[in-house]
Amino acid sequence: MNIIMLGAQGTGKGTVAGFISQEMGWPQISTGDIFRKNISEKTELGIIADSYISKGNLVPDEITVPIVKKRLAEDDAKNGVILDGFPRTIAQAEKLDEILAEVGKKVDLVINLVTPKEEIIERMLTRRVCTNQECKATYNTKLHPPKVEGICDKCGAPLKQRDDDKDPEAINRRLELYEEKTSPLIEFYKQKGVLRTETVSVAINHLGKDVADEVVRDIRGN
């Protein structure tokens, strides 16, 4: 099964994708993680990606699409994947359809996460991520803190705040960009009959783990 995570930054796409990946054994493919790894390693790709990401802009398709296509061709992606952060535009969605069609596959489910804007900003300012690129666990100092402050529960590596999570203005810019570029995908996938919208909010006590559990139960037919 091929799943896409939709939703503005800070809605919990990575959290939901991580839980589903753990339960179903399908790899979670995050273009953001791929770019951040290259940025931290100061590779040629990382330098190019950082010139866009640091300003709150999307990395161009001519860079992003080949990376996704290459990753989807790897052995662990043959039975299913969970895409987090791609596609972000209609053009990317159409390209993804082409890539999957080449191997007789399609997008089976699109999970669209919705969260109040004030909650998103608060979450991103309090988000912390594991510095171990093999782990990539995500925490929140208020909603989901680690057992030991600043240390990952899973692997013991230090946690850090992403550079793009530190500035409220940059966060607002990313949210505006999402509305402009990515929100049209909601209608695109709604027309295809594969869209599932879920509200993730402290206000209604419905968080990422709840969404993941519900999706896994439905996939398994329980």
Structural domain includes residue 139: no
Structural domain includes residue 128: no
Structural domain includes residue 146: no
Which residue stretches of the chain have pLDDT < 70?
A: 222
CA–CA gap between residue 131 and residue 161 (Å, rounded): 9
Task: Say if residues 217 and 21 touch (Cβ distance below 8 Å).
Answer: no
Task: Say if residues 30 and 84 touch (Cβ distance below 8 Å).
Answer: yes
- pLDDT tens profile 42-64: 888 889 888 888 877 778 888 88
Q: What tokens appear for 31 in the block?
A: 């273009």
Q: What is the pLDDT of residue 182?
A: 81
For residue 28, give the nearest of 83, 88, 110 by alpha carbon. 83
Structural domain includes residue 42: yes
Q: What is the pLDDT of residue 222?
A: 60
Residue entry with tokens 């069609």: 101
Task: Say if residues 211 and 16 touch (Cβ distance below 8 Å).
Answer: yes
Structural domain includes residue 143: no
Domain that holds residue 179: 2-115+168-220
Q: What is the pLDDT of residue 28?
A: 92
Domain with residue 35: its CATH number is: 3.40.50.300
Q: What is the pTM of this model?
A: 0.80
Task: Say if residues 193 and 187 touch (Cβ distance below 8 Å).
Answer: no
- pLDDT tens profile 147-187: 999 999 999 999 999 887 888 888 888 888 888 888 889 99
Number of domains in the chain: 1
Q: Which residues belong to the active site?
A: 13, 88, 127, 162, 173
- Residue 93 has a CB neighbour count (10 Å cut-off) of 21
Structural domain includes residue 121: no
Structural domain includes residue 184: yes
Quote the radius of gyration of the chain (alpha carbons, Å): 17
The 8-class DSSP code of residue 158 comes to: B
